[in-house]
Structure formats: structure tokens, C-alpha cells
Amino acid sequence: MKIIKVKDYDEMSKKACKLIVDKIKELNDPILGLATGSTPEGLYQQIIGKYKQGEVSFKNVTTFNLDEYVGLDGDHPNSYRYFMNDKLFKHIDISLDQTFVPNGIANDLKAECNDYEQLIQDVGGIDLQVLGLGTNGHIAFNEPGTSFDSRTSVVDLTQETLESNRRFFDSIEEVPTQALSMGIGSVIEAKEIILLVSGESKAKALSLAINGEITEDLPASILQQHDHVTIIADEAALSQVK
Ligand code: F6R
């Protein structure tokens, strides 16, 4: 694991942007794995800035998002498809049909998960996966206790995650209790992973992910076994790492 310690959220976003832009320039047809939530928002703003300055094009880029809420369609402002269009895709020159987010309103959710997984295999796998970290150590929506071998599937969200994500909804009752999520087994097949972590609320989970036992109770701890992980974390997030 390579750990890049930065001062704050802004610096985290800029460092991550540089790594991603460099990767896009390096590869002919880069496949990016993307996350939603508060953590990568600043990164997406930075990327838009680089695009507008003419430094990078997304014409040959394909993206796969980690997850989507069950029951929300892409027009719902809290769906992850909406988030991605709104925060990134509509501001850059990516073709929307090269952007993939699991369909949370598919008639057959299991088939949707299998197809999603297949699609990733068909394009040759993810070159660079961006991850955020849950306060309970989750990656994507793989909650503590999820098997390290898990594949893309319908998952139940824990109370802690519902409460964390409640800030985006009018009430906790409106937060979907299930999601479609890439599995841990799927995520760690990415050739390279960048984990972004900011803020003290993530400090405990991050310290366990870096120095703790590798255990399914702390999903992010599996990253210790991946050969090409870069953690970009700010001082607050790293405050419990010895
Ligand atoms: C989002 C995702 C989640 C988040 C995590 C942190 O696509 O997969 O694992 O990365 O819940 O969320 P934020 O960034 O909102 O603190």
C-alpha cells in the first residue's frame, strides 16, 4: 500500500485528479471504476477543471460505477446515476453510453448484477478503481461481514450506512435499504485502486484498514492484499494511524 498524506480535502481531490488524468493519458482505452458520495465530489470538480483547460479528453474512456440504490431510477436526484451525470458526466466529453451504473429498477435485479459483472469482464476489467471508505470500513456497499469473494449483487445496507447517507434525503425512511453493489471480489480485480479518505469520522476505519487484521468484519482491510493500492488521505483521516 502506498499512502499519500495530504493536508485536507482539497489537496486530496487534486492529487487524485492528477493520478486519474495521468492514467487516462497513459492508456488508449482506459476503463475507470468510479464512486459516488461526498468524498469524490471534489475530485470530479478538479477533473472538470482539467477538461475545460483542454488537458484531458474522455472520448475513449469507459466508466463503471460501484453501486446504485435499489428502487431509484436514474432521474431520481438521489440515484447514483443522477449524481454521476450531474457532478461529472454532463460537464465532460464522455459519451453517456460509455458510462455504466447498475440499474436499480431492473425487473430482474439478479440478472442485472450478473450482466454488470459480465460487462466489466468483456471490456477487460477495470484499469483504475476509485474508492471511498464507509465509517464502518465498507467499500462500495459491501458492509462488514461481506465475503471477500462476493460478486456484484443485491445487498442490504446497515443502519450505520443508512444514517450516514440520510443527509442526502428528507428523512431516514426515504433512504433505500438495499443497493446493487459490486462485490469485494469484483472490486479487488481492478488493476489499480485509489482509496480516498477525508475527515476524522473515517479515522478509525482507515487505521483498521491499514494496520488492522485482514478480516471480513472490516471490508477495506482486504486492500492490504492488493499489489497496487494508493491511499490518498488527509491529516484528519490519518489521525489514528500510528
Ligand atoms: C459510493 C460508495 C460508498 C462510499 C462510502 C463513503 O459509491 O461506494 O462506499 O464511498 O459510503 O461515502 P462518503 O464519501 O459520502 O463519505
Q: pLDDT per residue over 111-125, tens digit each?
A: 999 999 999 999 999
Q: What is the mean pLDDT of residues 11-34?
A: 98
Domain hosting residue 79, numbered range: 18-196+213-226
Q: Is 55 a catalytic residue?
A: no
Which of 180, 171, 62 has its CA nearest to residue 127? 62
- Segment 37-62, tens digit of pLDDT: 999 999 999 999 999 999 999 999 99
Residue 3 β-bridge partners: 231
Task: Answer yes or no: is 6 within a domain.
Answer: no
- For residue 134 and ligand 1, the question of a CB distance below 6 A is answered with yes
Percent of the chain with pLDDT over 90: 98
Rounded to whole angstroms, how far apart are CA atoms 123 and 76? 28
Task: Answer yes or no: is 10 within a domain.
Answer: no
Residue 13 has pLDDT above 90, yes or no: yes
DSSP output for 35-57: --SSTTHHHHHHHHHHHHTTS--
C-alpha grid cell, residue 102: 447498475
Task: Answer yes or no: is 235 within a domain.
Answer: no
Residue 214 has pLDDT above 90, yes or no: yes
Query: Which residue out of 138, 142, 165, 234 is catalytically annotated?
Result: 138
Rounded to whole angstroms, how far apart are CA atoms 165 and 155? 15
C-alpha grid cell, residue 9: 480535502
Going by alpha carbons, the residue nearest to atom 2 of ligand 1 is: 140
Which CATH number is 82's domain given?
3.40.50.1360
The pLDDT value recorded for residue 242 is: 85
- Segment 53-92, tens digit of pLDDT: 999 999 999 999 999 999 999 999 999 999 999 999 999 9
Contact 15, 232 (CB under 8 A): yes
The pLDDT value recorded for residue 2 is: 98
Task: Answer yes or no: is 8 within a domain.
Answer: no
Task: Answer yes or no: is 205 within a domain.
Answer: no
Sign of CA dihedral 206, 209, 212, 217: positive
56 CA to centre of ligand 1 in angstroms: 26
Residue 232 β-bridge partners: 4, 196
Rounded to whole angstroms, how far apart are CA atoms 37 and 71? 18
Task: Answer yes or no: is 241 within a domain.
Answer: no
Rounded to whole angstroms, how far apart are CA atoms 74 and 36? 14
Percent of the chain with pLDDT over 70: 100
Q: How many CA atoms lie within 13 A of 65 on its CB side?
A: 27
Task: Answer yes or no: is 207 within a domain.
Answer: no
What is the total count of domains within the chain?
1
Q: Is 91 a catalytic residue?
A: no
The pLDDT value recorded for residue 119 is: 98
DSSP output for 77-128: TTSHHHHHHHHTGGGSS--GGGEE---TT-SSHHHHHHHHHHHHHHTT--SE
- For residue 37 and ligand 1, the question of a CB distance below 6 A is answered with yes
71 CA to centre of ligand 1 in angstroms: 18
Rounded to whole angstroms, how far apart are CA atoms 194 and 16? 8
The pLDDT value recorded for residue 134 is: 95
- The residue whose grid cell reads 478480516 is 215
Rounded to whole angstroms, how far apart are CA atoms 57 and 143? 35
Rounded to whole angstroms, how far apart are CA atoms 172 and 174? 5
Query: Average model confidence (pLDDT) for the chain?
Result: 97
DSSP output for 173-196: GGS-SEEEE--HHHHTTSSEEEEE
Q: What is the mean pLDDT of residues 32-41?
A: 97
Task: Answer yes or no: is 184 within a domain.
Answer: yes
Lowest mean pLDDT among 8-12, 25-29, 160-164, 202-206: 160-164
